């Protein structure tokens, strides 16, 4: 239920007070010509606007003329009386109802805009709920990747080598391809710098990217910062992985694969 505003309540109370004062003034006028008005009635009559007083006088005059015309109409009507039948009484019309301009019987208190009570316009939302919109897509993607990995592993054997022999160390000894970029950094910098500082700075920049570039556009020309940062990151790591995979030979020395051969196994 909509709560009525305070200014409308005050206006309604004032209207009721004016109506009560008007009724008291009319009752005092019909009681007698010599009857005196009380102080409350005088103060209430003083608050009534002049146009309302004129409308009230016109309504009382119309009501008085209507009551005078009713007996005349009743006496003019022929009385149909037969033996054993009673006369039908004349029907007297009800008193006329006071109306405003245009014949309206209601009064407008105020005009309230629809937006202050109920917002009829739908506001577009650029956000969706995590459930079910996001989680359903992620769950479906996880199921697809799991099914693809399972089917692929059934038909393709993993490229595993023979059991490790601690008496014979392979030369060169390389990490899996996804770690060769980090192993390549270890040949250039101190282990603290290559293993912690540089990867930490790259990850930290990737974490800050959504907060620095807040442009919601999907166009590449509008997302230059994010695209540049991701491109540099991928190219930097891809170059290190390719160097460690194809350009490192025995002793993890730099070689050309078309001269010394390929020292790389999956």
User: Tens-of-pLDDT digits for all 266 residues of the chain?
Assistant: 556 777 778 888 888 888 888 888 887 665 544 445 555 555 555 567 777 778 878 888 888 876 554 455 444 444 434 444 444 444 444 455 556 556 666 666 776 666 555 655 666 667 778 888 889 999 999 999 999 999 999 998 877 778 888 888 888 888 888 888 899 999 889 999 988 999 899 889 888 888 888 888 888 888 888 888 888 888 988 999 999 889 998 888 889 989 888 887 76
d(CA 23, CA 133): 66
Q: Of 172, 168, 160, which Cα lies nearest the Cα of 262?
A: 172
3-class secondary-structure state, position 92: coil
Domain boundaries 170-260, corresponding CATH code = 1.10.287
Phi, psi of 104 (to 5 degrees): -80, 140
CB neighbour list of residue 110: distance below 8 Å, 6 or more residues apart: 7, 8, 11
- What's the angle, vertex CA 232, arms to CA 230 and CA 238, rounded to 5? 100
Answer yes or no: pTM beyond 0.85. Answer: no
């Amino acid at each position: 239920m909509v709560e009525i505003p305070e200014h409308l309540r005050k206006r309604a109370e004032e209207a009721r007070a004016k109506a009560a004062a008007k009724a008291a003034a009319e009752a005092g006028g019909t009681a007698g010509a010599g009857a005196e008005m009380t102080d409350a009635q005088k103060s209430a009559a003083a608050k009534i606007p002049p146009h309302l007083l004129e409308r009230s006088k016109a309504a009382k005059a119309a009501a008085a003329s209507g009551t005078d015309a009713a007996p005349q109409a009743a006496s003019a009507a022929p009385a149909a009386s037969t033996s054993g039948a009673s006369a039908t009484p004349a029907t007297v019309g009800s008193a006329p109802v006071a109306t405003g301009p245009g014949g309206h019987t209601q009064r407008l208190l105020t005009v309230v805009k629809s937006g202050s009570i109920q917002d009829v316009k739908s506001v577009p939302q650029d956000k969706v709920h995590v459930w079910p919109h996001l989680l359903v897509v992620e769950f479906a993607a996880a199921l697809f990747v799991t099914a693809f990995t399972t089917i692929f592993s059934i038909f393709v054997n993993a490229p595993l080598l023979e059991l490790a022999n601690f008496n014979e160390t392979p030369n060169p000894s390389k990490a899996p391809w996804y770690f060769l970029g980090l192993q390549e950094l270890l040949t250039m910098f101190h282990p603290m710098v290559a293993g912690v500082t540089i990867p930490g700075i790259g990850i930290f920049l990737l974490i800050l990217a959504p907060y620095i570039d807040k442009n919601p556009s999907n166009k590449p020309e509008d997302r230059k910062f994010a695209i540049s940062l991701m491109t540099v990151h991928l190219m930097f790591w891809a170059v290190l992985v390719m160097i460690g995979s194809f350009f490192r030979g025995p002793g993890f020395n730099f070689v050309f694969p078309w001269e010394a051969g390929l020292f790389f196994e999956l």
